[in-house]
Structure 1
Amino acid sequence: MKGPLFYSKILLFGEYGIIKDSKGLSIPYNFYNGALKTDGNTSEVAQASNTGLKKFALYLSNIDSEIVTFDMASFLKDIEGGMYFDSSIPQGYGVGSSGALVAAIYDKYANNKITVLENLTRDKLLSLKRIFAEMESFFHGKSSGLDPLNSYLSIPILINSKDNIEATGIPAQQTDGKGAVFLIDSGSVGETAPMVSLFMESMKQEGFRKMLKDQFIKHTDACVDDFLKGDVKSLFKNTKQLSKVVLNHFKPMIPQQFHELWKNGLDTNDYYLKLCGSGGGGYILGFTEDIEKAKQSLKGHNLEVVYNF
């Protein structure tokens, strides 16, 4: 038995900013996916996942029933039967591994679930986001609920503010375009919780809060607008500014070995780097107007293209 597939996601813009009401844009990334399975697999990985599901089930049985309830009898029976989450999504890489699992569990076991097929009003989207935030908190301590939402719906999501989200369309990819959004593997895993606490700690300083509002959020919002309008020229201008702000003010979230590469991109304009998720490791997101040039500049690093301009 194998459940439906749930895909990974990439938050193109909005990391950290959305905690403080910046815009955000999240897109599904079909290269990685996961599904619930009960096929008698007894490998170490399957058993570890099964043990994780037991803990998750316990957590879900205590969620406020006003928010969501589950068919716990079926869920526990399937766990006893060896169910596990079979996933190719790397953990701690900022592409939504726990989000896909949360979406799969909700899809299969939630009572009165909101389905992908119905008319998704803003209220329904917000309800889903709230449910998913509650469910995913088990993994991160605090979750916005966006990763599972993206995984569950498998469509791009535009975050206008905390209480205003909508499904959106993004400009069609230019398959022969030279410009690209790409991922670089930092070679290490990033932990979300410590990075978020670091950010919250910095938020206590007035200077940091001012920088966030006047620079980080300003450029993030502009990038989202440019991307959706397909204004590539303005997008690269704003992405460069955003990359610069991150290098200056979010250094601890950038793996040490990337500080130089980050600066090199800004100096040469061959590419601009930004955080993918909370940083600290995992993937780093890159934007370039010329993918061949970026590959030359980043020799020795494997570039995974996720979108072409």
Structure 2
Amino acid sequence: MKGPLFYAKILLFGEYGIIKDSKGLAIPFNAYRGALKTSSNLVDNAKKSNENLQRFYDYLANLETDLVTFNLKKLQKDIVNGMYFDSSIPQGYGVGSSGALVASIYDEYAADKITVLENLTREKLLKLKEVFSLMESFFHGKSSGLDPLNSYLSLPILINSKIDIEPAGIPSQKEGKGAVFLLDSEQIGETEPMVNIFMNKMKSEGFRKMISEEFATTTDICIDNFLQGDVKSLFGNVKNLSKIVLKNFKPMIPVAFHKVWEKGIKTNDYYLKLCGSGGGGYILGFTEDYQKAQQSLKDYKLELVYRF
């Protein structure tokens, strides 16, 4: 067997904010992808993946929910026959490796699944998000369900709030100087510890105030600028967001990148923000001049995501 491809995702804006009901914007990232495959000779990563699928099967078999049912018999049989998730999506990098896996399992084994081809009403999108949240909680302890949703639909998704999500039209890429890029921290980040740090910080009234008055507001403006193609305003607001994140989310930024982050804000060569939960993996960069950013960050691995 060989299943369909599911792509990585990038949450351009909204990390942590979406946990607390502010806006978010996620886009598929086709440079990385994964698919279910079967092999009679499992070694290394394929073997590890197969064992992981068995644990995931146990989790799904014990889910108590009316939202979704799975063809568990077929799933178990396929795992025994050597099924694994063949993926180029780096794990612990904030680009949705578990999301693509969840999407592929839902696509192959969910009974009465909601398909990408039908009219995706808000109710259907929310139901899918809820199902995916339940499924992906196996990997992260707590999941918004957004990564698998993005991977499953392969569409940009605008999150207005927990109960209001919609497919989004993003401006088509131009051959300009500006860019969104990924900066490789070359360390793996784990979602759960980072989310726990955030939840503990949320117990402080000052932090909650900063989230609602500064972080969420600036994130919302950045999303509006991006969707409207207002690049000039976008960079001013992303710079502001970068400052807010550096000041308030230091534990989520690998220590080796605190100075790199500051340098971008000081020189205006680039502005950095978290990609996913942080703690390692990729850091997301925005620049008005990609060549200048490449020069400024010449000691690091960069990957292009989107051109302005």
Query: Structure 1 length normalisation: TM-score?
Result: 0.99
Task: Please list the CA deviations of residues 186-243 of structure 1 after superposition, one character each: whole Å capped at 9, or x if unmatched.
Answer: 0100000000000000000011011111110010000000000000011101100000
CA distance in 1, matches of 2:27, 2:41: 32
Q: Which amino acid aligns with 2:145?
A: G
CA distance in 1, matches of 2:18, 2:247: 19
CA distance in 1, matches of 2:146, 2:65: 21
Aligned to 1:268: 267
**Structural mapping, 1:138-153, within 5 Å:** 138-153=138-153
**Structural mapping, 1:192-203, within 5 Å:** 192-203=191-202
1:259 aligned counterpart, secondary structure:
helix
> Number of matched residues?
308
Aligned to 1:233: 232
CA distance in 1, matches of 2:30, 2:57: 27
Shift of 1:295: 0.8
Aligned to 2:39: 39
Aligned to 1:116: 116
Aligned to 1:280: 279
Matched, 1:304 2:303: yes
Q: Which amino acid aligns with 1:291?
A: Y
4+ long deviations beyond 4 Å = none
CA distance in 2, matches of 1:243, 1:253: 13
CA distance in 2, matches of 1:153, 1:121: 13
CA distance in 1, matches of 2:305, 2:122: 28
Q: Which amino acid aligns with 2:266?
A: D
Aligned to 1:49: 49
Task: Please list the CA deviations of residues 4-49 of structure 1 after superposition, one character each: whole Å capped at 9, or x if unmatched.
Answer: 0000000000000011111000000000000000132421211111
**Structural mapping, 1:38-187, within 5 Å:** 38-174=38-174, 176-187=175-186
Aligned to 1:18: 18
1:143 aligned counterpart, secondary structure:
coil
Matched, 1:294 2:293: yes
Query: Structure 1 regions of 5+ residues with no counterpart?
Result: none
Q: Which amino acid aligns with 2:305?
A: V
Aligned to 2:214: 215
CA distance in 1, matches of 2:295, 2:41: 43
CA distance in 2, matches of 1:247, 1:57: 40
Identity of aligned pairs, percent?
A: 69
Shift of 1:67: 1.3
Task: Please list the CA deviations of residues 266-296 of structure 1 after superposition, one character each: whole Å capped at 9, or x if unmatched.
Answer: 0011100000000000000000000011011
Query: Structure 2 length normalisation: TM-score?
Result: 0.99
Asked if structure 1 preserves the Cα contact closer than 8 Å seen for 2:155 and 2:168, the reply is: yes
Q: Which amino acid aligns with 1:101?
A: L
Asked if structure 1 preserves the Cα contact closer than 8 Å seen for 2:98 and 2:136, the reply is: yes
Task: Please list the CA deviations of residues 247-266 of structure 1 after superposition, one character each: whole Å capped at 9, or x if unmatched.
Answer: 00000100001000100000
Asked if structure 1 preserves the Cα contact closer than 8 Å seen for 2:39 and 2:81, the reply is: no
1:151 aligned counterpart, secondary structure:
helix
CA distance in 1, matches of 2:132, 2:17: 19
Matched, 1:248 2:242: no
Matched, 1:190 2:189: yes
Asked if structure 1 preserves the Cα contact closer than 8 Å seen for 2:15 and 2:276, the reply is: yes
2:139 aligned counterpart, secondary structure:
helix
CA distance in 1, matches of 2:278, 2:39: 35
Shift of 1:169: 0.9
Asked if structure 1 preserves the Cα contact closer than 8 Å seen for 2:15 and 2:24, the reply is: yes
CA distance in 2, matches of 1:94, 1:132: 17
CA distance in 2, matches of 1:161, 1:80: 40
Q: Which amino acid aligns with 1:215?
A: E
CA distance in 2, matches of 1:179, 1:267: 18
Q: Which amino acid aligns with 1:277?
A: G
